[in-house]
């Protein structure tokens, strides 16, 4: 009985020692980057072209116009006439506010559309207001959605 206890103790101690030598780390990867996520932030510019960008209406003009119209409509009449004037003012103000916002945003702005072939094989298209010194074939890095020469 004593030998069996000693044998089991030796086996458990050996397993614990050998288990401590095991490594959880993946094998070292070959390549330029220290981690795979970093390779996704470097690439080469494939194409650059100028594009027109239209901003969509946010609805702010309609809301602001509706509030102003309702306030002005509330100043007219009394009783149910005042309520009708408030509703009409809100609707009219919303229409006018939306129209003003649409006209203001109708002028499209120009941006540079930069196509980048990433080192990991992905393609990214980034729109930027300023091109700086970027050219097709430049080695670039993507940081926070912007392209910088590397």
Q: Give the per-residue pLDDT at 147.
A: 92
Q: Give the per-residue pLDDT at 114.
A: 94
Q: Is 141 helix (H, G, I), strand (E, B) or coil?
A: strand
Q: Structure pTM? A: 0.45
Q: How many structural domains comprise the chain?
A: 2
Angle in degrees, CA 132, 136, 139, rounded to 5: 80
Among the ranges given (42-46, 75-79, 121-125, 138-142), the one the predictor scored with the smallest mean pLDDT: 75-79
Q: What is the pLDDT of residues 97-142, one digit of tens each?
A: 888 877 766 566 788 999 999 999 899 999 998 888 899 999 999 9
Q: Which residue has the higher pLDDT, 111 or 77?
A: 111
In this structure, the answer to whether residues 60 and 102 fall within a common structural domain is yes
Full domain range(s) for residue 132: 39-53+109-150
From the number of C-beta atoms within 10 Å of its C-beta (0-12, 13-18, 19+), residue 111 rates as middle
In this structure, the answer to whether residues 67 and 103 fall within a common structural domain is yes
In this structure, the answer to whether residues 86 and 65 fall within a common structural domain is yes
H or E stretch including 116?
strand 109-118
In this structure, the answer to whether residues 103 and 126 fall within a common structural domain is no
d(CA 49, CA 115): 9
Q: Give the per-residue pLDDT at 65.
A: 82
């Amino acid at each position: 009985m004593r030998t069996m206890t000693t044998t089991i103790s030796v086996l458990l101690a050996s397993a614990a020692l050998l288990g401590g030598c095991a490594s959880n780390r993946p094998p070292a990867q070959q390549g330029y980057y220290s981690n795979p996520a970093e390779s996704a932030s470097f690439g080469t510019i494939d194409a650059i072209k100028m594009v027109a960008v239209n901003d969509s209406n946010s609805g702010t003009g309609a809301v602001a116009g509706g509030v102003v119209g309702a306030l002005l409509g509330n100043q007219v009449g009394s009783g149910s006439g005042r309520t009708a004037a408030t509703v009409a003012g809100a609707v009219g103000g919303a229409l006018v506010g939306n129209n003003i916002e649409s006209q203001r945003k109708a002028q499209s702005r120009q941006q540079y559309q930069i196509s980048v072939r990433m080192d990991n094989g992905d393609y990214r298209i980034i729109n930027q207001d300023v091109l700086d010194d970027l050219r097709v074939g430049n080695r670039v890095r993507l940081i926070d959605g912007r392209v910088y020469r590397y």
